[in-house]
Amino acid sequence: MKQRLTILGSTGSIGTSTLDVVARHPDSYEVFALSAATQVELMLAQCAQFQPRFAVMASAAHARELADKLQANGLATEVLQAPDALEQIAAHEDVDAVMAAIVGAAGLGPCLAAARAGKRLLLANKEALVVGGALFMDTVKRHGATLLPIDSEHSAIFQCLPEDRTTWAQRVDSILLTASGGPFRARDPASLSQITPEQACAHPNFSMGRKISVDSATMMNKALEVIEARWLFDLAPERIKVVIHPQQIVHSMVQFNDASILAQLGTPDMRVPIACGLAWPERIESGAARLDFSQLAALTFEDADARRFPGLHLSWQALRAAEGTTTVLNAANEMAVDAFLHRRLSFDRIHAVNLETLEKMQLPQAPGSLEDLLAVDARARDCARAAVQRWALA
Ligand code: NAD
Ligand code: MG
């Protein structure tokens, strides 16, 4: 039986890499639905190649444009409009697995819909889990969904952990998330204010979406990944550690109680964790190059410099604070990164906005539902918007 897939965010970096892997295995996978925000031409090409039943676009105008072009090309894919349609294609009874590759909190609703429908959920969209936290994990558990990490570090950890998750708490001492350190690892911290969006988006080893590229440069990506790991692996925050490893060959490690460490290695290519998630527990060809040890000069490791990457520590701070604080941190960061990408905020002030939003937001009660989380997210965005304005003028 073919696995029928919905790919949320199919036109992005993870979405296109997923389709690249899927195209290598036409007998095993079938694309049921695709979704994108605005990229009509790429979506049209994907529909022509993969013939999905549904394609979802973010606005009515983009949906209409796509529908016209599909018709002109004699393609039968039906076009629907987000946000409701995203939940529909994530939870549809004819879907087996959902690749969550939308960027940001916008992906939370469809992830929860897939979880409630008991799907196999392939999670690249880390912000959804950072925002959703305990509620996200409870929903997965309650509805018997299968959550498979696609973020390369979390895929690595997942592959190193024993299959029986009930043993993790007694056996695992800590997990070590590796971080590339981004493009400014060796740069003078005093010059960080001069960084442009173009420089921040030119990541040394990967071509990724713009938001995650900026997050990699500030190391807020690693901060989000610490929070992601806390929920995926149900570990206390102090058991999660970060080590800089610029070559990105060791994708992360697990240290057990006897001091033994298991690591997962490979070339830095997101098709590896994607193929791993798609086929788990089987293994399929990903298209990635094999690691050639004779060509590896050195694998190096170092501590993260707190002066250059002050945002990294916000993850542990947010995890120890009131429930809902990670939702606030994510919202602030999305607003700050967007302001930076639109040249309204300097690079070094992304952290200032995040910190100020965390300090100013009051969380009188723990969020107990999706509506509560979205309300916290909206309030935090208002607070961050005001902080962006102040820091833009300062
Ligand atoms: P991207 O910007 O390249 O793609 C995002 C996709 O989501 C696009 O298809 C876009 O059309 C769609 N989208 C954006 N905003 C939307 C909205 N509001 N509603 C509906 N659709 C929307 O991003 P990416 O690099 O592919 O990253 C996707 C997710 O995967 C992010 O959460 C990122 O952190 C995570 N991730 C990415 C990588 C990577 O190598 N790119 C690695 C690990 C994790
Ligand atoms: Mg990652």
- For residue 103, the CA-to-ligand 1 centroid distance in Å is 4
The ligand placed nearest to the CA atom of residue 251 is 2
Q: Which residues surround ligand 2, an ion (CB under 5 A)?
A: 151-153
Side-chain-side CA neighbours of residue 4 (13 Å)? 16
pLDDT at 214: 97
Cα-based torsion angle of the residue sequence 224, 125, 349, 200 in order, rounded to the nearest 10 degrees: 110
Q: Any binding-site annotation on 132?
A: no
User: What pTM does this model have?
Assistant: 0.97
What pLDDT is attached to residue 203? 64
Q: For the residues 148-157, what does the mean pLDDT come to?
A: 98
- At residue 178, the pLDDT reads 98
- Hey, whose CA ends up nearest to atom 32 of ligand 1? 125
Task: Check the annotation: does 209 bind a ligand.
Answer: yes
Question: pLDDT grade, residue 205 (50/70/90)?
Answer: low
Q: Is 252 annotated as a binding residue?
A: no
User: Is the CB of residue 184 less than 8 Å from the CB of residue 192?
Assistant: yes
Q: Do the beta carbons of residue 97 and residue 122 sit within 8 Å?
A: yes
Lowest-pLDDT range of 27-36, 54-63, 104-113, 361-370 = 361-370
Mean pLDDT, the chain, rounded, equals: 96
**CA-angle at 196, arms to 194 and 200, nearest 5°:** 115
User: What ipTM score was computed for the predicted complex, to two decimals?
Assistant: 0.99
Q: How many CB atoms lie within 10 A of CB 288?
A: 18
pLDDT of residue 321: 96
pLDDT of 149: 98
* pLDDT digits 0-9 by tens, 30-88: 999 999 999 999 999 999 999 999 999 999 999 999 999 999 999 999 999 999 999 99
Contact predicate 106/86, CB 8 Å: no
Among 19, 158, 208, 267, name the best residue to mutate to test ligand 1's pocket (greatest count of ligand atoms within 8 A of Cβ): 208
3-state secondary structure the chain: CCEEEEEECCCCHHHHHHHHHHHCCCCCEEEEEEEECCCHHHHHHHHHHHCCCEEEECCHHHHHHHHHHHHHCCCCCEEEECCHHHHHHHHCCCCCEEEECCCCHHHHHHHHHHHHCCCEEEECCHHHHHHHHHHHHHHHHHCCCEEEECCHHHHHHHHHCCCCHHHHHHHEEEEEEEECCCCCCCCCHHHHHHCCHHHHHCCCCCCCCHHHHHHHHHCHHHHHHHHHHHHHHCCCHHHEEEEECCCCCEEEEEEECCCCEEEEECCCCCHHHHHHHHHCCCCCCCCCCCCCHHHCCCCCCECCCCCCCHHHHHHHHHHHCCCCHHHHHHHHHHHHHHHHHCCCCCCCHHHHHHHHHHHHCCCCCCCCCHHHHHHHHHHHHHHHHHHHHHHHHC
pLDDT of residue 144: 98
What is the structure's pLDDT at 206? 64
Q: Which ligand is nearest to the CA of 177?
A: 2
Is the distance from the beta carbon of residue 268 to the nearest atom of ligand 1 less than 6 Å?
A: no
How far, in Å, is the centroid of ligand 2 from the Cα of 115? 22
Closest alpha carbon to 326 in 101, 154, 137, 122 = 137
pLDDT digit string (tens) for 329-357? 999 999 999 999 999 999 999 999 999 99
Per-residue pLDDT tens over the stretch 253-276: 999 999 999 999 999 999 999 999
Name which residue sits closest to atom 9 of ligand 1, judged by CA. Answer: 9
Nearest atom in ligand 1 to the alpha carbon of residue 16 is 26
Question: What is the structure's pLDDT at 207?
Answer: 83
Task: Please report the pLDDT score of residue 85 as a whole number.
Answer: 98
**pLDDT (0 to 100) of residue 393:** 75
**Structural domains present in the chain:** 3-149 (3.40.50.720), 151-269+290-316 (no CATH), 321-394 (1.10.1740.10)
Whole-number percent of the chain with pLDDT over 90: 94
Distance in Å, CA 221 to ligand 2 centroid: 7
**What is the identity of the amino acid at 22?**
V
DSSP-assigned beta bridge partners for residue 35? 8, 56
CA of 108 to the centre of ligand 1 (A): 12
Mutate to test the pocket of ligand 1, among 13, 19, 215, 225 (most ligand atoms within 8 A of CB): 13
Does residue 14 have its Cβ closer than 6 Å to ligand 1?
Answer: yes
Q: Is 270 in the pocket of ligand 1 (CB under 6 A)?
A: yes
Q: Is 42 in the pocket of ligand 1 (CB under 6 A)?
A: no
Evaluate if residue 177 carries a pLDDT over 90. yes
Per-residue pLDDT of 276-315, as tens digits, reads 999 999 999 999 999 999 999 899 999 988 888 999 999 9
β partners of residue 121: 98, 147
* Whole-number Å distance between alpha carbons of 64 and 70: 10
| Polymer length in residues for the chain | 394
